[in-house]
């Protein structure tokens, strides 16, 4: 039996190739100390009802405070519950 990584339904690009392909078009946003207090508030508000991780809370704050309304797409259903656009 072949490992699942070799199946015809496996991703077309393996993780290193995916990263090499997507990284040049990404906008990477550094997390500053200004983000952390707001992320903590989001985490405290939603951790029990949404099972939100602190990493999710940081991501939410960064995405919702980006200038120019830059869209963010995610597969994470927790973000849908917070009102963000998700795919899948």
**pLDDT tens by residue, 43-79:** 998 888 777 889 888 988 888 887 665 666 677 777 7
Average pLDDT value for the chain: 75
What span, in angstroms and rounded, lies between the C-alpha atoms of 66 and 85? Answer: 15
Mean pLDDT value across residues 23-39: 84
In 3D space, the residue among 72, 47, 50, 70 whose CA is nearest the CA of residue 59 turns out to be: 72
Q: Is this model's pTM higher than 0.85 or not?
A: no
In 3D space, the residue among 58, 53, 52 whose CA is nearest the CA of residue 31 turns out to be: 58
Please say whether the dihedral angle defined by the alpha carbons of residues 44, 50, 53 and 57, taken in this order, is positive or negative: negative
Of the pLDDT bands very low, low, confident and very high (cuts 50, 70, 90), residue 5 is: very low
Is 46 in contact with 24 (CB distance < 8 Å)? no
């Amino acid at each position: 039996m072949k490992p699942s990584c070799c199946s015809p339904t496996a991703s077309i690009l393996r993780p290193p190739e995916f990263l090499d392909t997507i990284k040049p078009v990404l906008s990477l946003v550094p997390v500053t100390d200004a983000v952390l207090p707001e992320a903590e508030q989001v985490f405290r508000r939603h951790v029990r009802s949404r099972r939100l991780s602190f990493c999710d809370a940081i991501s939410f704050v960064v995405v919702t405070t980006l200038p120019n309304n830059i869209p963010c797409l995610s597969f994470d259903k927790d973000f849908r519950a917070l009102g963000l656009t998700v795919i899948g």
